[in-house]
Structure 1
Amino acid sequence: MKEFAHIYKKFPKKEDCIRFIEKVRWSNKPVCPHCHSHRVSPMKKEFRYHCNSCNISFSVTVKTLFHNTRIPLQKWFAAIEILKQNEKLISVRKLAEALDVNKDTAWTMISRIKKAGSEYGELFTRLVESGEFYIKGRLKIK
């Protein structure tokens, strides 16, 4: 993970990653991903919010590639960086080795990152361009 020390330096904890995503996604003003209301309240549980309009709780990762993942966000950020650096071709095994995850996890990460460009469009582009990462072109999987 030495080659991604800058990611761990910039985002040493999960909380730092979440704050970064909040800044990019919401400009630090939470918005309900379900009804798009700004009438939200922070919950006692860290980094969760309650929508006062639709009565649903949520976090910044809802409806993003990071939703329902147990993979540390720093590894997600590192995966984005790896795919940026190897924009033409990267094998699942090489990504798995670089991130110290198994090949199935690496496959899931590549698939979600590729899908994010089309499914989450603008959010993903803003997230990638505002961080240490920049992805262009098509990603291919060997």
Structure 2
Amino acid sequence: MTTNFKSLLQVLDFFKEEKTCIDYLAQQRWGATPSCPHCGNVSAYTTNRGYKCKAKECGKKFTVITGTTFENTKISLRLWFAAMYLCTAHKKGISSLQLSRDLNITQKTAWFLLHRIREMLAINNSEPLTGTVEVDETYVGGKKINKHKSVRAKLKDGTGYVNKTPIVAMLQRDGNIVTVVSPIANGETIKPFIYKHVAPGSTVITDGFGAYKGLDKTYTHEVVNHHQNEYVSEKGFHTNTIEGFWSQLKRGIIGIYHQVSPKHLHRYAHEFGYKYNTRKQLDTFRFSETVKLCNKKRLTYAQLIK
């Protein structure tokens, strides 16, 4: 089943009926042969409500949405697909208020939908980044002076980084990016992320932040001293590529979402990281690839607000 959507109207025109959505999801998830989500067996009976596993030790019934983000959903797959298209096609994202107006659903439902879609977009790189890799951190959170008096009383005094949440990112030149929300920005928390996601022997470019000291034991470590107004080193190294990613993330938070809590920040980072990694792909390809990511990515409302 091939699709070539160029607008939301084409998405809604194609997915007019729920059966079309179910058939499309089945093809994206399994291909030609249904696979039992309980035991992994690729042989199943067709029932009037879905499938039943042929394996004697299993024999469980399942549908196309069992074991996916859509499991137990009360929202039609047609609305799900429309929301997924909008979320992944908009470069700076879409707010829950805007999505609720576009799809004629409540803001609470739209908020829950978007977070479940972001959970699907979590970057799970099986292969480490190689070659030339830029590493940087940024801080998300409003200025203390702009917060309510009751909130300011509970916050610490300090520089602009205090009371903000750090995000660490590793970006391979002409490749993918990996983002991690860290509880604090120091060498003990940042370097394990780098060791996990960047292959030894790679060229790692950072700024002069002290947390990156010691990386030269594992990598070719090049430093760009931003505090000395150096943005391209004498050897030609820079972190301008990853700074461009930060600008997209910050523009999305400031312009679209306005305020992001530390509790959910990692999902917003997943969203922008996924769109960066698929930046050279058409919207229709990004949509179909997003549908394939639904397996084993369930997020309940209780988990979300816990």
Q: Greater CA deviation, 28-37 or 4-13?
A: 4-13
Deviations 1:11-41 (A, max 9, x none): 1100000000111111121110110102210
CA–CA distance in 1 between the matches of 2:103 and 2:52?
34
Partner of 2:54: 52
Q: In 2, are the aligned partners of 1:65 and 1:116 still within 8 Å (CA)?
A: yes
1:134 partnered with 2:138: no
Task: Give the aligned residue type for 1:52.
Answer: K
Partner of 1:10: 14
Partner of 1:139: none
* Pairwise CA distance, 1:119: 8.8
Partner of 2:77: 73
Q: Which has the larger radius of gyration?
A: 2
Partner of 2:254: none
Number of residue pairs matched?
126
1:25 partnered with 2:29: yes
Which of these residues, 105, 108, 114, is aligned with residue 101 of structure 1?
105
Cα RMSD after superposing both structures? 2.7
Normalized per residue, the structure richer in helix is: 1
* Pairwise CA distance, 1:132: 3.1
Q: In 1, are the aligned partners of 2:21 and 2:78 still within 8 Å (CA)?
A: yes
1:82 partnered with 2:86: yes
In structure 2, do the counterparts of structure 1 residues 103 and 5 end up closer, same or farther at CA, with 3 Å as the change threshold?
same
CA–CA distance in 2 between the matches of 1:105 and 1:113?
12
CA–CA distance in 2 between the matches of 1:70 and 1:57?
19
CA–CA distance in 1 between the matches of 2:69 and 2:123?
9
Deviations 1:51-75 (A, max 9, x none): 1210110011112111111111111
Q: In 1, are the aligned partners of 2:33 and 2:43 still within 8 Å (CA)?
A: no
Task: Give the aligned residue type for 1:86.
Answer: H
* Aligned structure 1 segments of 4 or more residues deviating by more than 3 angstroms: none
DSSP 3-state at the match of 1:35: coil
CA–CA distance in 2 between the matches of 1:115 and 1:7?
22
- Per the normalisation by structure 1, the TM-score is 0.78
Task: Give the aligned residue type for 1:30.
Answer: P
In structure 2, do the counterparts of structure 1 residues 12 and 97 end up closer, same or farther at CA, with 3 Å as the change threshold?
same
- Per the normalisation by structure 2, the TM-score is 0.38
Deviations 1:70-106 (A, max 9, x none): 1111111110111123232321101111111001100
CA–CA distance in 1 between the matches of 2:19 and 2:114?
23
Normalized per residue, the structure richer in strand is: 2
Unmatched runs of 5 consecutive residues or more in structure 2: 1-6, 126-273, 275-280, 290-306
DSSP 3-state at the match of 1:50: strand
CA–CA distance in 1 between the matches of 2:101 and 2:124?
27
In structure 2, do the counterparts of structure 1 residues 13 and 103 end up closer, same or farther at CA, with 3 Å as the change threshold?
same
Task: Give the aligned residue type for 1:50.
Answer: K
Q: In 1, are the aligned partners of 2:11 and 2:82 still within 8 Å (CA)?
A: yes
CA–CA distance in 1 between the matches of 2:48 and 2:22?
16
CA–CA distance in 1 between the matches of 2:20 and 2:106?
25
Unmatched runs of 5 consecutive residues or more in structure 1: 137-142
